[in-house]
Chain A
Amino acid sequence: MLELVPDAEFQENKQFLTCIIPPAKLHALAVRLAGDADLAFDFLFCLSGVDMIQYIEVVYHLESTAHRHQAVLKVRVFDRDHGAVDTVCDIWRTAEFHEREIYDLLGIRFTNHPDLRRIFLEEEWIGHPLRKDYADEINIVER
């Protein structure tokens, strides 16, 4: 299924087939997954970012509406300051808003994104709140 990316790493998960791929291969693989008639992953039902401290993970939950199968793609970004991933919003249009959300809250840039601005917070906001090292002494009260 994934001969396109030989260095992909597979994770067995109870729920989904999970595949970790290098960021550079993401876009080519996404085109293939969406376009291939046997795979036909046309529905990106969730796109999330997770800060794992050593790296930030971008998680793509995919489903095929024709074949009803699901899979998960993961991309790891190690550079916290200038990390960037190729956008997939030319393949799945829903990614446009989700990528803006990840950029806003986790600070990963998406190259070739048509309109990469913060979506919830104002442009002057400092930091990315969903990162684990984000500190805000005024608004976050530790219990």
Chain B
Amino acid sequence: MKEVVNLPVKNIEEEEYHINMGPQHPSTHGVLRLVVSLQGEIVKSLKPHCGYIHRGIEKMCEKDTYPQIIHLTDRMDYLSAHINNHAVCLLVEKALEVDVPERVKYIRTIIDELNRIASHQLWWCSFGMDMGGLTCFFYGLRDREKILDIFEESFGSRLLHSYYTPGGLMMDIHPNFQKGVKAFIHYFRKKIKDYDDILTGNIIMQERTKGIGVLSREDAISYGVTGPSGRASGFSCDVRKRHPYALYDKVDFNEILGTEGDTFTRYMMRMYEMRESMNIIEQLIDNIPPGDTSAKMKAVIKLPAGEYYQRVEAARGELGVYVVSDGNKTPYRVKFRSPNFSNLSALDHISRGVKIADLVAIGGSLDYVIPDIDR
């Protein structure tokens, strides 16, 4: 006769267990592993494991000249490649005390903002897809294509441009540039209403994001969360306002701040920012002055010995470049303060106590780009 064994009955809900999200998980938008500690489906804590695409860009920079470094910065946050290029160019120009021509400033500001819109469009479509709306993905990519076409026409590349050089631009803009940008803004002003109709006003999306992943203002500052994610918490962190560069002190735009600090506010910040970027472009696009596309620079760029720091507002937050120079044509040490790296550090704090499905929404709203974290 068989013996009946009474196994101890465990309440699975009370037991804590770990699961791996990633490295290959669609919602991480890259190769990031999150070790999530769960109780039932409630997130107790999580540990991000980075480094899957660590390429040692900072070490490579120590062997490269300043014009070469620009090509490496493209590969950090590839969705705001122009803005990353801009940071290095501004740093070199500041160190050498070079004044760039007005035309260059106008073009750089316009292209930075176009880049910001393109980046936010891609964020919007992937955020929609994370929440289960595949339509968003097609709508977002369709409109981003228009910007990439403008970029391709002027500089020949669609993602990694390396269009800025220390002192100016690689080449002048295409004659169709202004017409193309104006046509795009006319087009996108109509289409962004569709974005609101599809996702912003969607009650399912609102239910899933409101009050989820709340980050207070104090925590945003302490964790160094910048960009739209920081501004959603009321942290006035727009480098374009605080430490203006290019033409941002001349154009009229608003720094929009949120109060809630939840996932929905982070979403709304980016929707507002796309409209603000279009306002900035509209103020400049008709007034591009004629002139040179580059200041006179020496063939070999050597920064005087010393330390330099340059901050710019990338699409995801504040990008800082810290260069220690010993007077050679290659820098002694380069450090990139990447926005995503700091934003990621807050993920554990804000996702404690949410359900694992909401973790995907929070991750989407922080909008991390993994090559920027790993560098």
Give me the interface of A with B, judged by CB distance under 8 Å.
Answer: 13-16, 18, 42-46, 48, 50-51, 59, 61, 65, 68, 92-94, 96-98, 101, 105, 118-122, 129-130, 140, 143
What is the predominant secondary structure among interface residues of chain B facing chain A? mixed
CA distance A65 to B308 in the complex (A): 21
Kindly state whether residue B318 has any CB partner on chain A within 8 Å.
Answer: yes
Contacting residues, chain A, for B224 (C-beta < 8 A): 43-45, 92-94
A13 contacts B306, C-beta separation under 8 Å = yes
User: How far apart sit A45 and B220, CA to CA, in the bound complex (Å)?
Assistant: 12
Measured CB to CB, the closest approach of chain B to A93, in angstroms, equals 4
Inter-chain contact A97/B374, CB cutoff 8 Å: no
Contact B342 A97 (CB under 8 A): yes
**12 A-B contacts (beta carbon < 8 Å):** A15-B309, A43-B221, A45-B318, A46-B322, A48-B333, A61-B337, A65-B237, A93-B224, A94-B224, A97-B344, A98-B341, A118-B51
Decide if B341 touches A59 in the complex (CB within 8 Å): no
B202: CB under 8 A from chain A?
no
Interface-forming stretch among B15-23, B56-64, B100-108, B264-272?
Answer: B56-64
Least Cβ–Cβ distance between B273 and chain A, in angstroms: 20
Contact check: which of B59, B63, B237, B309 meets A46 at CB < 8 Å? B309
Are B51 and A119 within 8 A (Cβ)?
yes
What residues of chain A lie closer than 8 Å to B63, measured between beta carbons? 143
Which residues of chain B (320-353) have a CB below 8 Å from chain A? 320, 322, 324, 332-333, 335, 337, 341-342, 344-346, 349
- For B332, list chain A residues within 8 Å (CB): 50
Question: Which of A18, A61, A65, A68 is within 8 Å of B320, CB to CB?
Answer: A61
Whether B223 sits at the interface, judged by CB under 8 Å, is yes
Q: Nearest chain-A residue to B58 (Cβ)? A: A130
Q: What distance in Å separates the Cβ of A127 from its nearest Cβ neighbour in chain B?
A: 12
Contact A94–B223 (Cβ < 8 Å)? yes
Query: Knowing A121-B54, A143-B63 touch, does A46 contact B324 (C-beta < 8 A)?
Result: no
Contact, CB under 8 Å: B242 / A68: yes
Q: Please measure, in the bound complex, the distance between the C-alpha atom of A59 and the C-alpha atom of B345, giving whole angstroms.
A: 19
B50 touches A46 (CB 8 A): no
Q: Assess A93 versus B345: contact at CB under 8 Å? Given A61-B309, A65-B221, A120-B51.
A: yes
Interface contact B345-A96, CB-CB below 8 Å = yes
Q: How far is the CA of A28 from the CA of B58 in the complex (A)?
A: 31
How far in angstroms is the closest Cβ of chain A from B76?
14
B309 touches A16 (CB 8 A): yes
Q: Does B219 lie at the interface of the complex (its beta carbon under 8 Å from any beta carbon of A)?
A: yes
Q: A15-B307, A50-B332, A98-B341 are in contact. List 4 more A-B contacts (CB 8 A).
A: A13-B306, A93-B345, A94-B345, A120-B50
Q: Report the separation of the CA atoms of residues A43 and B308 in the bound assembly, to the nearest whole angstrom.
A: 19
Q: Which 8 A-B pairs have the closest CB atoms?
A: A94-B224, A120-B51, A48-B335, A120-B54, A46-B337, A97-B345, A93-B222, A50-B333
- Residue among A13, A45, A130 making CB contact with B307, cutoff 8 Å: A13
Report if B151 contacts A (CB, 8 A).
no
Q: Quote the shortest CB–CB distance from A67 to chain B (angstroms).
A: 12
Q: Give A105 to B221 CA distance when docked, in angstroms.
A: 25
A108, B236: Cα distance in complex, Å: 33
Complex Cα distance, B59 from A118, in Å, reads: 17
Whose C-beta in chain B lies nearest to the C-beta of A142? Answer: B63
- Chain B residue numbers with a CB within 8 Å of A130 are 58-59, 333
Contact A92:B333 (CB < 8 A) given known A120-B54, A121-B51, A121-B54: no
In the bound complex, how far is the Cα of B311 from the Cα of A40, in angstroms? 21
Contact assessment for B221 and A42 in the assembled complex, using a CB-CB cutoff below 8 Å? yes
Contact of B219 among A44, A61, A93, A121 (CB under 8 A): A93
The answer to whether A50 touches B324, judged by C-beta atoms less than 8 angstroms apart, is yes
CB of B337, distance to nearest CB on chain A (Å): 4
Partner of B236, one of A59, A65, A118: A65
- Interface residue? B235 (CB, 8 A): yes
Q: A48 to B311, alpha carbons, bound, how many Å? A: 15
The winner among A46, A50, A121 for most chain B CB atoms within 10 A is: A46
